[in-house]
Structure 1
């Protein structure tokens, strides 16, 4: 059974790998045997790199601004010149909070560009070699807001509904080519993106009261799901959005 979950000999690219869920997934994949390609927009990936070093796996770091879709093609070309990408984890994302009636075009455009447009074009570029080899794993990071509406986050909600839809659309086209495309929908996880919610006493209490597990999730709670969806254990799983939320949606 260990071999079914092994990623030995594989190379995984994780976007938004500097902190939080991206960092935890990167380390989890490394612990399962994968070498890592880390993609971020800030030149301070040292903590993630050190954690991967401790697993004995190798890593390579690339910097790119995924809010600028015009950079994605060249960035992918640079990566593919140096690495064969067997596993792609689309984790990078941003959130902007503002009432829907007042939501600015700048906030809308920034979130859609990062969370959706760049995700699409980056996946398109990195999937082409997978299609040629007829082998690959793609894991998108969706959200509970792939199913729900949220409050004061209309662009984020729109982008995460779209990520769930793209997961299914790509699976429909690529499953026959032995590429499994799936997604993880994290629940309320203690990361930078949710700091505003955790600091709001009323919202924090309301959220915790609905989670059957009785706690906010940790970024490390996503690692096992990512390893499963990146490994041979999920070879017949296609177009699925795996919810990891402490039971939130069951409520």
Structure 2
């Protein structure tokens, strides 16, 4: 192929392209319109899906808000129940403590009544011993004045009163012990009731100065309540028993010396 033929062929190709250009433009236009419609349809579908998801999210948000409100209500009710339970527990504790104080009071009152009866019994024994001593003393005086008795006979008759003297001394000691125990339990019963009032005072007054004053008092009162009332009595009792034994030993020795003369 020579140059002339090649040029002619090229011109034919260009002319053919020019002839087909309208058709190509029409095809491009159709494709373009189809892509736009498809894109618009896709956008519409995406928008519908987005709206659906947004609505679903809104429903979930509303439900979550409702659940949060329900949880808050449950929390409030739970706190109210806890406060009510705490108040009831505190009331029960107060009632138990008051009952315990009342139980202590009744227990101490019973013991006090027992020692009152014991003290009353020993008072009667003291009276009987005194009357018996007076009767024996009167009888000895009558014998001395009416009959001429020897000194040793007088002392023998006088020695009859020794058991009565011991009886009187023992009865007096028991009466004193019972009376002290009666007063001790009366004191304990009074303190056991007053402790509840001081406990309430300590709960109301939260200041440190008040606690510094009240706490030592309550501690001391509790120690006195639960201390054994027989401790002090035991210490005094040993000394009193020793004094009684020494007194009677001395009296017997004197009588023995007088009889020996």
Indicate the TM-score class for this superposition, using the shorter chain for normalisation: under 0.3
The TM-score, its normalising length taken from structure 2, stands at 0.23
TM-score (norm 1): 0.24
Question: Counting strand residues as a fraction of each chain, which structure ranks higher?
Answer: 1
Structure of higher CA gyration radius: 2
